[in-house]
Amino acid sequence: MLRVVSGFSGNTITGACYAHHYGQVEDFSILFPASGASKLVTSQCGQTFSNLSGHFFCDAVGGAQDYQWEFSNVGLGYSNTVIRGSGPTNIPHASISGLVFGNTYTVKVKAKVAGARGSYGSSCSITLSAAIPTTQLVTSQCGLTFSNLSGHFFCDLVAGAQDYQWEFVNVGLGYSYAKLRGNSLLDMPKSWIPGLQNGITYNVRVRASVGGAWGRYGNTCIVTINTSLYFAEGRSFISEVENDMAEVNVYPNPSTNNGFTISYRLVENSDPKTIVEVYDLLGRSIIQKQITSIVGINEIKLNTDGNLPTGYYVIVVNVNNTIVKKKIVVK
């Protein structure tokens, strides 16, 4: 026969178990689940953050299976609850959507223990600095003269940035074009900037979006387009299109005023956005077109209005992040 004599203290039941049959007495204790209350670590509580890279950290709770974070600003009407989804005591800054630089937020944390969520611990405040870090064209390209419009422009990294916006301006020509990268990549394909002309210099600026807010543009850099350097170096724009992929075809070739058709097969659709451009022998962009591709055969019709003068051209197809070039003749 078993008999239990117990007492209760805090979160722990203690007592003695008497096993009369065996003449033994064993002490035991049963630890109840912790309350689940946690909080932002002391080293981050009250801190001002200049960017949204890195992680927030909370105090560990024994046996915690998950942590729930709450960020709020009553004045802004902002409240965002994020569940970590696992036991680590950190959460990436960038996973807290809607944080705006120049504001202060209240942070609370609670843990899930033994399948139940406890109560929030004491609150802490964190502040995002008033200014999002600036960026610009990388030093190695700032002031550079580009001999072609293939390849990419690159900007300096802003930690935690979700997007970058590029601006190209020539005041004398009345030219101004701004382009969003659409993600956190630091490059901007030159072929995505329509209207860049041979022999022309442009002012280039870049700014970053962090936590849903845009920073200001960084320093202005100058770039010059001078495709005549191809010939000065004994190179030919046409010579760079010898290694073509069989999946892209242009017909009829030679073409007439009735235009031509670009046909290509897309095997997998990791990036459905396809950019097609037509360049003359000086590397000037004559036609730019963007379409959404589908898996399978795609066709694009160009120059159906007969605006291209007779001569040689290069068609550049950027499909699924692969650049394919084809030489065509317009009669």
User: What is the domain-level CATH number for residue 97?
Assistant: 2.60.40.10
Are 121 and 166 members of one domain? no
Mean of the pLDDT values across residues 288-306?
79
Using pLDDT thresholds of 50, 70 and 90, give the confidence band for residue 99. confident
- Is position 140 within any domain? no
- Both tokens assigned to 175: 């030219």
How high is the pLDDT of residue 7? 42
How high is the pLDDT of residue 244? 39
Of 232, 259, 285, at which residue does a domain stop? 232
One-character DSSP codes across 40-56: B-TTTTT-EESSS-SEE
How high is the pLDDT of residue 42? 96
Instruction: Give the residue, 27 or 64, on which the prediction is more confident.
Output: 64
- Is position 99 within any domain? yes
How high is the pLDDT of residue 330? 84
- Can you tell me the distance from the alpha carbon of 103 to that of 99, in angstroms, rounded to the nearest whole number? 8
Instruction: Give the residue, 270 or 66, on which the prediction is more confident.
Output: 66
Are 116 and 155 members of one domain? no
Q: How many domains does the chain have?
A: 4
Q: Which helix (H) or strand (E) holds 229?
A: helix 229-232
Instruction: Give the residue, 17 or 204, on which the prediction is more confident.
Output: 204
DSSP conformation class of 58: B
How high is the pLDDT of residue 85? 87
Mean of the pLDDT values across residues 101-119?
92
Of 202, 232, 262, at which residue does a domain stop? 232
Q: Which residues contact 153 (CB under 8 A, 6 or more apart)?
A: 137, 141, 166, 187, 188, 190, 204, 223
How high is the pLDDT of residue 21? 44
Above 80 in pLDDT, residue 148?
no
Are 91 and 167 members of one domain? no
- Is position 84 within any domain? yes
Which of these, 120, 138, 302, 128, lies nearest to 218 by C-alpha position? 138
What range defines the domain where residue 306 resides?
Answer: 238-330
Give SS3 for 211: coil
Are 262 and 213 members of one domain? no
How high is the pLDDT of residue 270? 59
* pLDDT tens, position by position, 115-127: 999 899 999 999 9
What are the Cα distances from residue 219, in Å, to 50, 207, 208, 222, 296?
Answer: 19, 10, 13, 10, 44
Above 70 in pLDDT, residue 16?
no
Are 218 and 292 members of one domain? no
- Can you tell me the distance from the alpha carbon of 142 to that of 192, in angstroms, rounded to the nearest whole number? 19
Are 260 and 323 members of one domain? yes
Mean of the pLDDT values across residues 174-181?
95
Backbone angles phi, psi at 327, to 5 degrees: -90, 135
Are 198 and 168 members of one domain? yes
Of 164, 198, 232, at which residue does a domain stop? 232
Above 80 in pLDDT, residue 11?
no
How high is the pLDDT of residue 249? 81
Using pLDDT thresholds of 50, 70 and 90, give the confidence band for residue 269. low
- Is position 59 within any domain? yes
- Tell me the β-bridge partners of 92: 55
- Is position 288 within any domain? yes
How high is the pLDDT of residue 198? 82
Which pTM value belongs to this model? 0.42
Ranges of H-type helices in 19-136: none
- Is position 135 within any domain? no
Instruction: Give the residue, 22 or 259, on which the prediction is more confident.
Output: 259
How high is the pLDDT of residue 274? 81
